[in-house]
A and B are shown apart, each in its own frame.
Chain A
C-alpha cells in the first residue's frame, strides 16, 4: 500500500527524519509513537503528502510520489485526515462539513456513513451544538466520505476522555478490518497496543 525507502527530511538544515524505511500493507492499522519532537508528526505529514520529502522514495500502491501531477486530486481521492483538534467549520452543519471533502456526496450517503458511526441524528447540527467526542466522530466521517484508501490521524484522541478515545480506536480497528489502511500518530502507548503494528520514532529515526 505504502512503501517508503531511504526517506529523509530537513527543515532548512535541521534534520527531522533520517533514512526511514517501512512498508504498510492495505487494511493495516498502524500506530506511530514517539515523544514530542521525535519526528512522528513530520513522518505523518510526509506520508500523507502534506509535506514534500527532502530525499527518498514514497510509493502509494503503484504511484510514486514524484510522479503525482495533481497533489490536491490525489489527496482528495486517496487520503483522509483526522487531526487532534476536529477542525470542523463552525458555521457549517455536520452534513456541510462532510460535503467539504466530497461535494457530490448525497444526504443519504452521508446519513448512512453517520449511521455507521452512530451519530446519524447529528446530520443537521452545527459543531457548537455537539460534544467533543461527537465532533471527532464527525471528523472521522469527513475523512471517510471519499472512501479513501488510507486515513491518517494525528493524535486523534488528544482532546478526548479515555472512554471516547477507546471508542475512536475501536472504530479505526473496524475500518481497518473493512480494508481501509489507518495510520495513527499518538503518544499514548496503551492505545498503540490496539493497533496491528507500532513504529516508534526517536530523533527522526525508526527504532
Chain B
C-alpha cells in the first residue's frame, strides 16, 4: 500500500509539492508560535523559580511590572520558622543607548550570586552588571545611562535565560529611585520539606496589601502567561485551520483529476473503504514528511531568532519533546482530516461513467 501511495504522490508532483508546502507552512507556524510563547513563559518562570519557593507580590495586580511591595517585610519574613532567606527584586525596563527597551533588574545583595560573572565584579553603589548579550551591543562598555543617571559597568554576567542575558542588574536601592517603588516582588527560600501553605499564611498575616503564592502556583496562575498561552493557542488553531483548508482544497483538485483512476478501481471491485484508506495513506505520508521538514526548518529559524542581536535574546523558542509530539499528532490529524472529504468523493466515483464512454 505504501509503495503505491508514494508512486501516486510522485505521479502528481506539482499538487503533491503544493500540499506539502501548505502543510509545512502551517506546521512551522504552529511550531514557531508555540515554541516562542513557551520560551517566553519558560524564561520568565525559570527566572522566578531560581529565586525561591514563595513569591510575594502586591495583591490585585495583573502584572509584576506594576507590583509594589514593602521591602522591609524581608526582616519579618526571615523570622518565620523554616524560612532560610528572602530576597527582593524590582522588574523594570528602560532604553539603553540605541536599544529601545532593556530589562532592568534591581536586586538585593543576596540575589547577585544568581548572576554568573564572566568579567569584573558584582555591583557596588552607582554600579551595574550587564548581561553578555546586551554588553556586546553597547558602544560604551564602561558606563551606561538609565533614566538620565550614569552607572559604571562593574561586571558582565552570562545567563541561559534570555531576559536576564539581555538585561541590566543594579542594586535595588538605585532601581527603587528610578522606578519609584520599594520592590516588585519578594522571593522566599524555605527549608526542604517545610509546609509551604503554613509559611504562606504566616506571610499573608504580615501585610493585607500583599499576595503570597508558591512559585509553582504563581507560574501556573500568572495572568500574563495565560494571555500568552491563549494567544498562542488561538494563532496555532488558525494555522491549523489554514493547513486543513489548504490540504482539503488541493486534495480535492488532485482527486478530481484522478477520477478515472478511482472509477476503474470501483469497476474492478475495489471497495469504497479501500479507496478512502489508500488516499488516507497518501495523506499520512505527506503529514509525516511535512512534519519532519517543518521540525527541521523551525529549529533552524529558532536558532537564528535566538542569535539575532536585534532581538537581544528576549525571543527564545524551545521545542520540547512534548511539544514536538503534540504537533506531530496535530500534523497527522490535519493531513488525515483534510483529506477525508476528497477521499469520500473519490470513493463515490461512479464507474458507469467509464462504461458510458466518458473519460471522467
Contact = CB atoms under 8 A, between A and B. Distances in A.
Given A45-B352, A76-B269, A100-B270, A89 B357 contact: no
A166 interface: no
B268 A81 contact: yes
A81 B266 CA distance: 11
Interface string B4-22: 1001101100000000000
Contacts of B7: 91-92, 96
Interface in B224-275: 260-261, 263-265, 267-272
A72 B270 contact: yes
B205 interface: no
B354 interface: yes
Interface in A59-73: 72-73
A90 B8 CA distance: 9
A38 to B, nearest CB: 13
Contacts of A76: 268-270
Contacts of A142: 268
B355 A50 contact: yes
B258 to A, nearest CB: 9
B209 to A, nearest CB: 73
Interface residues of A, number: 31
Given A87-B260, A92-B7, A45 B269 contact: no
Given A92-B4, A92-B7, A41 B355 contact: yes
Interface of A: 41-42, 44-45, 48, 50-51, 72-77, 79, 81, 83-85, 87, 89-92, 96, 100-101, 142, 152, 154-155, 158
28 contacts: A42-B356, A44-B355, A45-B356, A50-B267, A50-B355, A51-B352, A72-B269, A75-B267, A75-B268, A76-B268, A76-B270, A81-B264, A81-B268, A83-B264, A84-B357, A85-B260, A85-B354, A85-B359, A87-B264, A89-B261, A91-B8, A91-B10, A92-B7, A96-B4, A96-B7, A100-B264, A154-B357, A158-B357
Interface of B: 4, 7-8, 10-11, 260-261, 263-265, 267-272, 351-352, 354-357, 359
